[in-house]
């Protein structure tokens, strides 16, 4: 219980986050309270003058009153001036004379100088120190040239005891203030080091964001540039065909089909981009419902083959049809499949593309397997990350695979890529089954 009370007391008046001057003021006031009472009691024991006890008790009461006012009203500057004027400029000079003058009472000057320098600021501090210097030098000169102004103690032992008491009090107070100052300095240094670490971490994060932005711009530019080049070439060819006689309508129609197809591709890129921004801002939503994956994939297999394949590939659907329904957003899963099939068709020429559905211990696994150009190991490792691009023109890409990964993760699933250069690529994602649907 005692330790708890002490800890509460220290947290109240000497918390590390409290301003240093406020802590010094708290210390000064408490020392004034304790020292005033203690020295007054000692003065009565050694039978010093009653005036010494009265002055010390006055210092104690003043310290207590100013401590309460300063803590409650947070007016430390005003209370510091009150303490300096009434304690250091009025009571301390009187205490100097009643404690034996320069023979034993000079240590109160050290306390006054030390705390004045800590409590006040700038020009106010300089003025107060000059006043105290003049005042205390005057007191020493008066006590030296007019010994009768000093209270005469009973014996040399009393002088010695008073000197020791004042010395111990002054040195203890200064030592405590130095230790407090050191502790606060170390605390500030630790805070500065912590701020520097946070600043370095934020700078690294900003640098990463800058790299991501650059990769994103490069990826989007490349994604859009390819179909725009095709559109431009088809449009120019169409203009040339229109200038010829007779018109070759078959080629013109073919060019228009290419333009429509590439325009749709750009539209899909922009939709992926908007979805990517929505994901980054946490605005993506899933409209889940129980769906048989085999039926969803079967419908996609035929429709997307006709729309996306330009390289005469063979598509095979290897689907297990007797699997339970899965709780998913069919439009989002369709979006994932379109991205995966688009990549497979784009990087495979006159090859085989397999859409596979099978069951595992963790759920149902969908795979898009091709025997196209494949990826190098590093590309396969980072292809699902955001806005990745490599030096290879074949696999320089942006948001498609990243968007697939985020959609699958939003479903609580997993996605991975297995690829080997010139051997093909397999992209698989896992969706967990919901036991409530059969």
Q: Which two tokens stand for residue 2?
A: 């005692």
**pLDDT tens for each residue of 261-300:** 788 778 877 777 777 767 666 667 788 899 999 999 988 8
Structure tokens belonging to residue 431: 């969706």
Bond prior to 111 in cis (omega within 30° of 0): no
Q: How far apart are CA 360 and CA 363, in angstroms?
A: 5
Are 371 and 418 in contact by the 8 Å Cβ rule? The answer is no
- For 379-433, the pLDDT digits (tens) are 777 778 755 544 444 444 457 788 888 889 888 899 999 988 888 999 999 999 8
Could you give the 3-state DSSP secondary structure of residue 154? coil
**Per-position DSSP letters for 169-221, written without gaps between them:** HHHHHHHHHHHHHHHHHHHHHHHHHHHHHHHHHHHHHHHHHHHHHHHHHHHHH
C-alpha to C-alpha distance for 233 and 114, rounded to whole angstroms: 86
pLDDT of 96 higher than 70: yes
Six token digits for residue 33: 């309270």
Least confident of 28-32, 91-95, 380-384: 28-32
CA distances from 178 to 50, 185, 268 (A): 34, 10, 69
Count of C-beta atoms within a 10 Å radius of residue 104: 22
- How far the first Cα of the chain sits from its last, in Å, is 63
User: What is the predicted pLDDT for the residue at 394?
Assistant: 41
> Cα(266)–Cα(399) distance, rounded to whole angstroms?
13
Q: Say how many C-beta atoms besides its own lie within 10 A of residue 5's C-beta.
A: 9
- Find the length of the chain: 438
Percent of the chain with pLDDT over 90: 11
Q: How far apart are CA 369 and CA 344, in angstroms?
A: 8
């Amino acid at each position: 219980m005692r330790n708890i009370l002490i800890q509460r007391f220290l947290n109240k008046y000497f918390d590390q986050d409290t301003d240093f001057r406020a802590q010094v003021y708290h210390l000064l006031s408490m020392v004034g309270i304790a020292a005033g009472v203690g020295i007054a009691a000692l003065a009565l024991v050694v039978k010093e003058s009653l005036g010494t006890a009265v002055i010390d008790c006055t210092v104690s009461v003043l310290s207590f009153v100013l401590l309460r006012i300063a803590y409650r009203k947070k007016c430390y500057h005003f209370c510091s001036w009150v303490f300096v004027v009434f304690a250091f400029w009025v009571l301390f000079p009187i205490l100097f004379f009643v404690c034996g003058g320069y023979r034993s009472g000079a240590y109160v000057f050290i306390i006054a100088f030390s705390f004045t320098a800590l409590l006040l600021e700038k020009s106010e501090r300089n003025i107060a120190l000059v006043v105290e210097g003049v005042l205390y030098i005057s007191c020493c000169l008066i006590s030296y040239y007019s010994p009768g102004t000093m209270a005469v103690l009973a014996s040399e032992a009393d002088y010695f005891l008073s000197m020791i008491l004042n010395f111990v009090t002054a040195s203890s107070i200064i030592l405590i203030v130095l230790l407090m100052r050191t502790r606060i300095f170390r605390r500030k240094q630790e805070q500065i080091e912590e701020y520097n670490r946070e600043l370095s971490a934020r700078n690294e994060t900003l640098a990463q964001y800058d790299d991501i932005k650059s990769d994103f711009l490069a990826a989007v530019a490349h994604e859009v540039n390819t179909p725009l080049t095709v559109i431009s070439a088809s449009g120019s060819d169409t203009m040339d065909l229109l200038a010829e006689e007779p018109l070759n309508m078959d080629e013109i129609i073919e060019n228009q089909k290419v333009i429509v197809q590439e325009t749709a591709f750009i539209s899909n890129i922009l939709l992926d981009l908007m979805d990517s921004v929505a994901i980054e801002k946490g605005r993506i939503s899933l409209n889940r419902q129980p769906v048989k994956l085999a039926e969803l994939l079967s419908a996609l297999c035929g429709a997307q083959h006709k729309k996306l394949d330009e390289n005469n590939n063979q598509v095979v659907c290897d689907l297990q049809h007797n699997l339970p329904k899965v709780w998913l957003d069919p439009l989002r899963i369709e979006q994932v499949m379109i991205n995966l099939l688009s990549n497979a068709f784009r990087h495979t020429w006159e090859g085989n593309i397999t859409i596979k559905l099978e069951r595992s211990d963790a759920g149902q696994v969908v795979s898009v397997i091709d025997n196209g150009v494949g990826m190098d190991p590093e590309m396969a490792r980072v292809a699902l990350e955001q806005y990745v691009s490599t030096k290879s023109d074949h696999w320089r890409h942006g948001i498609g695979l990243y968007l697939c990964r985020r959609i699958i993760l939003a479903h609580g699933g997993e996605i991975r890529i297995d690829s080997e250069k010139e051997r093909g690529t397999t992209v698989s994602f896992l969706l967990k089954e919901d036991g409530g649907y059969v």
